[in-house]
Amino acid sequence: MKKSGIILLATVAVLSSCNDFLDRSSVSEITSDNVFTSAVLAENVVAGVYSNLAYDYNNYDRINWDAYSSVLDALSPYSYMQGRIQSNNGTVLEYWKRFFEGVNRANDVINNIGKVPDMDEETKARRIAECKFLRAWHYYKLNCLWGGVPIYLENLSPKEYTRQRSSEEDVWALVIKDCTDCIDCEVIPDKIEASSADYGRVTRGAAYVLRGKAYMWLKEYEKAEKDFRSVGDCGYSLFRGSYADLFKEKNERCDEMIFSVQMVETAEKGNVLSFIYGNFNTAGYGNNRIVAGPNFIDSYETLDGEAFDWEDVIPGYTALSPKARAAYFFRNSLTENEKLTLSSAGADMSLYDSANNEARIKKAYENRDPRLAATFILPYSTYLGGSTGTAETYTMRFPYRSDATPNFDLKAYNTTQMIYLVRKFVAEGVQYKNISYNPVDMPVFRYADVLLSLAEAINEQGRYLEAVPFVNQVRSRAGAKALNSNDATQVSSQENMRERIRREKKWELAGENQLYFEELRWGSWKDDKFKEGNGLQQCWGSSIYDYIWGGDQYLHWPVPRSEVEKAGLTQNDKWY
Q: Under a CB-based contact definition with an 8 Å cutoff, are residues 421 and 412 in contact?
A: yes
Cis peptide before 399 (omega within 30 of 0): yes
The pLDDT of residue 10: 42
- List CB contacts of 485: < 8 A, sequence separation 6 or more: 305
- List CB contacts of 4: < 8 A, sequence separation 6 or more: 196, 197, 198, 199, 200, 201, 262
The pLDDT of residue 12: 41
CATH class of 5-71+86-266: mainly alpha
The pLDDT of residue 31: 64
Q: Under a CB-based contact definition with an 8 Å cutoff, are residues 134 and 203 in contact?
A: no
Q: Under a CB-based contact definition with an 8 Å cutoff, are residues 511 and 51 in contact?
A: no
CA separation, residue 440 to residues 65, 130, 264 (Å):
18, 23, 7
Rounded to 5 degrees, what are φ and ψ at 386?
Answer: -150, 25
- A 10 A CB-CB count for 6 gives 22
Q: What is the DSSP secondary structure assignment for residue 122, as one 8-state letter?
A: H
> Residue 571: in which H helix or E strand, if any?
none
Cis peptide before 443 (omega within 30 of 0): no
Query: Mean pLDDT in runs of 10 for the chain (576 residues)?
Result: 50 39 39 86 96 89 94 95 94 95 96 97 98 98 98 90 95 98 98 97 98 98 98 98 96 98 90 94 93 97 98 98 98 98 98 98 98 98 96 98 97 97 96 83 97 99 98 98 98 98 98 98 97 92 96 97 93 95
Q: What is the pLDDT of residues 121-162, one digit of tens each?
A: 999 999 999 999 999 999 999 999 999 999 999 998 888 888
DSSP 94-120: HHHHHHHHHHHHHHHHHHHGGG-TTS-
